């Protein structure tokens, strides 16, 4: 029998089947009248036994047997049982919560691994622009900039292009990489961003970065078209 089974063995279904109605009624009344003390003793057990290997069935019984009760007064056995039940219930909830946390952690880890794998499959490593262009989430005016970036990216082993989009008027690049040439990648990315800031998003002609509600780069013709 493992640690958890030992703790819960006393309270398997039917553990009060041998008790008569009068006993059960008395037990319920003790639970009701002494609920604050029962709860306090149960929590105190957990506080004084913070490590799993300390929380044994024998330790629970020894703790419950120390609950103060008038000498010779009916109900001592019931009070101790109520404390053992309260401790076991708290342990059950704690174990269930821990298992739920572990399950959720496993699910999140599995989801993360699937996302990483999907990103690896989607990344373009070989410089083939036709495969990369579906992930150009920008106007066609910036496609030439990105085509050049894709070709430069392909010269660095393990560097995979993921996507491109506009942010604050300029180009933003997403990629996968874990090697030692980050400085080279930063330089490639910086050149592409600088080009985007002087290139019309729509047509690729020289443009200016201006803010009219949002930051955008447009040539004079397309600034006029957007403002008409």
Specify which of 48-52, 89-93, 130-134 reaches the highest per-range mean pLDDT. Answer: 130-134
The mean pLDDT value of the chain amounts to 88
Least confident of 15-19, 53-57, 123-127, 136-140: 15-19
Compute the radius of gyration of the chain from its Cα atoms.
34
User: What residue segments make up the domains of the chain, in order of their start?
Assistant: 3-118, 129-227
Return the pLDDT at 47. 93
On the question of pLDDT at 75 being above 90, the answer is no
Residues paired with 218 in a beta bridge: 208
pLDDT one-digit tens code per residue, 96-154: 777 888 888 888 888 888 888 888 888 999 999 999 999 999 999 999 999 999 999 99
Calculate what percentage of the chain has a pLDDT beyond 90.
Answer: 52
- Residue with the bigger pLDDT between 161 and 111: it is 161
The answer, yes or no, to whether residue 5 has pLDDT greater than 80, is no
Per-residue confidence (pLDDT) for residue 125, from 0 to 100:
93
Write down the pLDDT at residue 1: 43
| Model confidence at 44: pLDDT above 50 | yes
Which pLDDT does position 95 carry in this prediction?
75
Confirm if 192 and 146 have CB atoms less than 8 A apart.
Answer: yes
Q: Residue 21 pLDDT > 80, yes or no? A: yes
How much is the pLDDT for 213?
80
pTM, rounded to two decimals:
0.55
What pLDDT was estimated at residue 192? 96
* Residue 226, pLDDT above cutoff 70: no
Contact 135, 144 (CB under 8 A): no
Return the percentage of the chain with pLDDT > 70, whole number.
Answer: 96
Q: What is the structure's pLDDT at 102? A: 85
* Average pLDDT of span 185-198: 96
Segment holding 84, helix H or strand E: helix 76-122
Q: What angle do CA 123, 128, 134 make, to 5 degrees?
A: 60
Cα distances (Å, whole numbers) of residue 160 to 56, 121, 148, 151: 54, 10, 14, 11
């Amino acid at each position: 029998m493992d640690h958890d089974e030992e703790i819960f063995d006393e309270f398997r279904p039917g553990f009060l089947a041998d008790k008569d109605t009068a006993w059960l009624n008395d037990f319920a009344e003790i639970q009701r009248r002494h609920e604050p003390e029962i709860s306090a003793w149960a929590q105190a057990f957990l506080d004084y036994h913070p490590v799993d290997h300390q929380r044994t069935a024998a330790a629970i019984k020894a703790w419950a047997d120390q609950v103060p009760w008038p000498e010779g007064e009916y109900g001592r056995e019931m009070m101790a049982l109520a404390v053992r039940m309260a401790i076991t219930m708290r342990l059950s909830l704690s174990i269930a919560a821990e298992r739920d946390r572990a399950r959720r952690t496993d699910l999140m880890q599995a989801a993360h691994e699937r996302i990483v794998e999907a990103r690896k499959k989607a990344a373009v490593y070989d410089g083939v622009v036709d495969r990369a262009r579906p992930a150009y989430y920008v106007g066609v005016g910036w496609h030439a900039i990105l085509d050049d970036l894709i070709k430069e990216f392909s010269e660095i082993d393990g560097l995979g292009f993921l996507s491109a989009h506009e942010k604050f008027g300029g180009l933003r690049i997403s990629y996968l990489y874990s090697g030692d040439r980050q400085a080279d990648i930063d330089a490639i990315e910086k050149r592409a961003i600088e080009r985007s800031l002087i290139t019309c998003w729509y047509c690729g002609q020289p443009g200016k970065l201006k803010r009219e509600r949002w930051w955008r780069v447009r040539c004079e013709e397309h600034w006029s078209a957007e403002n008409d």
